[in-house]
Structure 1
Amino acid sequence: MRSLSEELRRAAGDLEVSLYGVADAKGFLSPEYQGNRPQDVMPSVRSVVVLGVPLLRGSMDALPKGRAEYHNSLLAATVTLRYMSFQLAKRIEDAEYLASIVPAEGSEFGIWYADRETLRADVSLRYAAYLAGLGRYGLNHSLVTEKYGPRVRFMGILTDAPLEPGVPASDFAHEGCSSCGRCVDICPVGALEKDGTIHREKCAQYMFGELGGLRCGLCLKTCPL
């Protein structure tokens, strides 16, 4: 008889989930982590299941002119992830555990799931993906994956099921960023610095102000990883 961990991984493959991993929720309790914690949403949480799909390359090539197309492609990825996540969440609850879907970070269908000033979501899916061993952080504060670079959309499932977790990389930051800095140079509002500092308020003001709620995406487009 397969374990629930094996069943979910197999089901994710059947659903054509491009990136799949499990994070131990205890990793969010590390003093080095400064974001919001899944324990505040689900006190009984033990695992965070992470699902990812790549962004369409064509939607990024047209940036910055094609921001509407890029934003629409993000929404399409979100719809895809919602279906995948719900199917896996149902399997978890069929096994008599709790499951709740964490939304993709940011604004979807007119609803903003993150803090408008800090851009921090209730649960950081990027950090969950890091804990799950799916990648390392880039200078643009996105998670850099081996296959897709930082051009990935994530969604997650909180559960009290004791799933087998992945192992995070020993290096938190991607070594390719140390000699690059393209994302810093291309940012239209200077929200990124080469020492790793990010000014989230500048990014938020640009998106909600000049772009009217659309995404920028230039730091992802220019990344060579």
Structure 2
Amino acid sequence: MMNDDLKAAVLRRCRRMEIPLVGVASTDRWENPPFLPWMPEEFYPQSIFPEARSVIVIGLPVHLPVLETSPSNYYHELYKTVNTLLDQYTYRLASFLNDEGYPSVFVPRDGYESIEVLQKNPVAFFSHRHAALLAGLGTFGVNNTLLTPEYGPRVRFGSVLTAAVLPADPLFPEDLCTRCMRCVRACPAGALDERDYPEGLTDKAACTDNSARLARRHISPCGICIGVCPVGEDRRHYGRPAASPGERDRRRRVREHVQKYGGL
């Protein structure tokens, strides 16, 4: 039986924690994927937490003006802050569900220890972006990230695996990617191509090697492909769709100033 009251309680807690994006997917959606090829069964929620019947996915935005300074210590610190909040919020949600009598666990936002580990084994044990897709929060873009209507790809996701049977949210009904190819052209590692996901996959080795170079300078991650994406209401909020030449020059000066400090 679906637990509508419990889902409403989860959503209220998310609102109190100021979490703007929340979606729920039933675990059977991994067994009936929306496209092929799909991930192996070992990456399904049930393979990680056999009691899982639902997956709650939360999303926190990456603020566009900070991202526009990337690669920089400014974006590096924002990235760490968002990651920390994701782990804290998903842990708290899992603890709430446990207290309500539903076995639950949080999944860490990355699932790997360092860039060096990722270079040798470039796969995490769970994909939050696929979970966000199945929870109805958005659709994949050419840059292999999940695009949302609110923030485009400028979102980080975290997940809770729970034994509670919660009403699932519908899949997002339309494709958000515009195929503008700005991400492909802007990628400093040349890690993207023009094919749609999943046919066009990120060159993980090239992307990770670029991140490793930035990490040695203490200004990782890169983030350029999500910064140039035109999708997202946040662009309108920050006045980014049609900036004047003077405004573009001010942004350039901000970026140049920030990049001088905090890294090597």
Structure 1 residue 192: deviation in Å? 0.4
Greater helix share, 1 or 2?
2
Corresponding position: 1:215 with 2:218? no
Q: Report if aligned partners of 2:214, 2:222 keep a CA contact under 8 Å in 1.
A: no
The corresponding residue for 2:107 is 102
Q: Measure the CA separation in 1 of the matches of 2:84 and 2:22.
A: 17
Q: Report if aligned partners of 2:4, 2:167 keep a CA contact under 8 Å in 1.
A: no
Instruction: With the length of structure 2 as denominator, give the TM-score of the two structures.
Output: 0.75
SS in 2 for 1:123: coil
The corresponding residue for 1:133 is 136
What aligned pairs does 1:70-219 form with structure 2 within 5 A after superposition? 70-105=75-110, 111=114, 115-117=118-120, 119-171=122-174, 173-177=175-179, 180-196=180-196, 197=200, 198-209=202-213, 211-212=215-216, 214-219=220-225
Q: Report if aligned partners of 1:101, 1:156 keep a CA contact under 8 Å in 2.
A: yes
Which amino acid in 1 is paired with 2:208? A
Structure 1 residue 70: deviation in Å? 1.1
Structure 1 residues 121 and 83, CA gap change in structure 2 (3 angstroms): same
Instruction: With the length of structure 1 as denominator, give the TM-score of the two structures.
Output: 0.87
Q: Measure the CA separation in 2 of the matches of 1:114 and 1:47.
A: 30
Q: Report if aligned partners of 1:114, 1:121 keep a CA contact under 8 Å in 2.
A: no
Q: Report if aligned partners of 2:138, 2:148 keep a CA contact under 8 Å in 1.
A: yes
The corresponding residue for 1:41 is 48
Structure 1 residues 51 and 113, CA gap change in structure 2 (3 angstroms): farther
Which amino acid in 2 is paired with 1:54? P
Structure 1 residue 119: deviation in Å? 3.6
The corresponding residue for 1:69 is 74
Structure 1 residues 69 and 201, CA gap change in structure 2 (3 angstroms): same
The corresponding residue for 1:58 is 65
Task: Tell which structure's C-alpha radius of gyration is larger.
Answer: 2
Show structure 2 runs of 5+ residues with no match. 232-264
Q: Measure the CA separation in 2 of the matches of 1:113 and 1:6.
A: 41
Q: Measure the CA separation in 1 of the matches of 2:44 and 2:160.
A: 13
The corresponding residue for 2:17 is 15
Structure 1 residue 206: deviation in Å? 1.7
Structure 1 residue 117: deviation in Å? 4.9
Structure 1 residue 134: deviation in Å? 0.6
Q: How many residues align?
A: 218
CA deviation digits over 1:161-211, x for unaligned, max 9?
Answer: 11111111245x53412xx00000011121100013221121112212454
The corresponding residue for 1:6 is 8
Which amino acid in 1 is paired with 2:192? L
Q: Measure the CA separation in 2 of the matches of 1:128 and 1:121.
A: 13
Structure 1 residues 14 and 175, CA gap change in structure 2 (3 angstroms): same
The root-mean-square deviation of aligned C-alpha atoms, in Å, is 2.4
2:32 is matched with which residue: 30, 33, 57? 30
